[in-house]
Amino acid sequence: MNALTPGDHALRHDWTLSEVQALFALPFNDLLFQAQTVHRAHFDPNEVQVSTLLSIKTGACPEDCKYCPQSARYHTGLETERLMEVEKVLERAREARANGSSRFCMGAAWRNPKERDMPYILRMIEEVRGLGMETCMTLGMLTADQAARLGAAGLDYYNHNLDTSPEFYGEIISTRTYQDRLDTLEHVRGAGMKVCSGGIVGMGEQAKDRAGLLMALANLPRHPESVPINMLVKVKGTPLENEENLDPFEFIRTIAVARIMMPASHVRLSAGREKMNEQMQAMCFMAGANSIFYGCKLLTTPNPDENSDMQLFKRLGIRPAQRAQKPDQVQEEELLAEVSRQNAPDEIFYDATRPRAGVVRP
């Protein structure tokens, strides 16, 4: 495969398996060069979006995902917890904002949300958005109605991973189908929310399955805005606790190919970072990763602490991205002020084409 031309930066939804496998087969330096070329065409190469993930309901999940310590089917020593109180969630969100996070992600170990929990979930979304942060949730499968209610509450992102290729999926999960996952993503899009969807590598899959995962994501009608690439965290008591480690270079290749195939998406260096040294993480950023989860835990598994992340950012010259959108109350006040100003006698109609001060257009 030759060097990329400007036309190769276009968003595509018609990737073939042979094309994706050809990317994976490139010499390592050539692959990283192409990934960097694409990355710089769409993003500031020295800016990384920072998110914090909080488990708002832990354990006792009825699913049988072989990688997951939260499944009720496995004995991992994890203590189950009920849905967190809204005020406790807000405390953690404020801490995350103070530590530099622009997005607050909330995850619940459910197959799907129950009606009794929805009022609390909706309030969490509204209150966290009121802090001026982007909101993301992962709650399992959604109906179209549930997705619409989350969207109406202002949820920015919904996370629902495809996990692996369609062909390997049955080796990892039997309690929900690949189509179930695709249906939830469709409901999320239909409700006007952004999609966060990626997968896990190092679960015993073949190289063609890593290619198949990225092909399934890139060939969605719209690319996910966030694509988390997770390295399996092997938890004692789960069926994958003794899985062989994935070659670090193969993981970096996966990041790079994801960047090339989904040029405008944030590719998130996600679970498994605790086991990666600084050099490996730096190469992932070079390969096109431009988002991380920040904090001591990802739901129930360890993650590098905040100080080590910021120290690495400083050494690499990386800046945490800042959220462009202002808190709803601030933005509403500015809009009201603008409307009042426009209501002068000589200016009856508001010109919607004129940029408003302080409002960043997408």
**Which residues carry out catalysis?**
61, 65, 68, 105, 136, 196, 268
Q: Are 35 and 260 in contact (CB under 8 A)?
A: yes
The sign of the dihedral angle between the CA atoms of 98, 104, 107, 113 is positive
Count Cβ atoms below 10 Å from residue 174 Cβ, excluding itself: 12
Q: Are 241 and 46 in contact (CB under 8 A)?
A: no
CA–CA dist 239, 277 (Å, integer): 26
For residue 296, say whether it is annotated as part of any ligand binding site: no
Residue 319 makes CB contacts below 8 A (sequence gap 6+) with 46, 47, 48, 313
For residue 284, say whether it is annotated as part of any ligand binding site: no
CA–CA dist 167, 359 (Å, integer): 45
167: its two tokens: 């062909």
The H or E element spanning position 341 is helix 328-342
CA–CA dist 313, 309 (Å, integer): 6
The H or E element spanning position 340 is helix 328-342
CA–CA dist 350, 231 (Å, integer): 51
**Of the candidates 191, 126, 188, 131, the residue with the CA atom closest to the CA atom of residue 154:** 126
Positions at the binding site for [4Fe-4S] cluster:
61, 65, 68
Positions at the binding site:
61, 65, 68, 105, 136, 196, 268
